[in-house]
Amino acid sequence: MIDNVKILETKILSDNWYVLRKITYEYIKKDGTKTIQSREAYDRGNGATILLYNKNSRTVILTRQFRLPTFVNGNETGMLIEACAGLLEKDNPEDCIRRETEEETGYKITDVRKVFEAYMSPGSVTEILYFFIAEYATEMKVTEGGGLEEEDENIEVLELTIDQAMRMVELGEIKDAKTIMLLQYVKLNNIL
């Protein structure tokens, strides 16, 4: 830990799905004064996400699935279009994203490239997300995808042109931050 932060108390508020903790800590400000603050931090583990792209057809692979938090926050259908992603669990980020890509999209990818990592909601969630891109081709499709039945996943696989996807961002049809970041990455870096 850094010298200006001292954890005083940690209480587990919930460990039903993941772990929600209330942490009380002492913080020394720039002027040297001490303050005691309490914050809640939700620990759901770290994750990885990937954007599959095809240079020849200028297409990307995205997914669509029901996301309860978006539904309770005003998304009428609860359906969200997003890049393939998953929790690391005990894998390293690259192994995780290879596994998730095949489970969710049906593509068995070979070369993945890590492009960056980011905290997605650092005010309340501990998760760091590892971002990847990879080329795909029709011959890499080994299953229909759709996720794992035992995990109750019901994922629709979408193939869109990069122009369609970017237009969907503009129209508010794609609202997932990780997906927008990856789409912008491939556009800004002239990958598609």
| 42-99: pLDDT as tens digits | 998 999 999 999 999 999 999 999 998 999 999 999 999 999 999 998 889 999 999 9
Distance CA 113, CA 174 (A): 23
∠ CA 79-85-90, rounded to 5°: 135
| Contacts for 53 with CB less than 8 Å, ≥ 6 apart | 59, 60, 61, 133, 134, 135, 136, 162, 186, 191, 192
Distance CA 27, CA 49 (A): 34
Residues of the binding site: 85, 100, 104, 153
Superfamily of domain 47-188: Nucleoside Triphosphate Pyrophosphohydrolase (3.90.79.10)
Residues of the binding site for Mg(2+): 85, 100, 104, 153
Residue limits of CATH 3.90.79.10 in the chain? 47-188
Burial of 95 per CB tally in 10 Å (0-12, 13-18, 19+): middle
Q: What is the largest CA-CA distance in the chain?
A: 62
Distance CA 162, CA 149 (A): 30
- Specify the residue for token string 């057809």: 57
Please report the pLDDT score of residue 17 as a whole number.
82
Asked if pLDDT for residue 105 goes beyond 60, the answer is: yes
Please report the pLDDT score of residue 138 as a whole number.
93
Supply the Cα-derived Rg of the chain in whole angstroms.
Answer: 19
Q: What is the pLDDT of residues 131-187, one digit of tens each?
A: 999 999 999 999 877 776 666 678 899 999 999 999 999 999 999 999 999 999 999
Asked if pLDDT for residue 2 goes beyond 80, the answer is: no
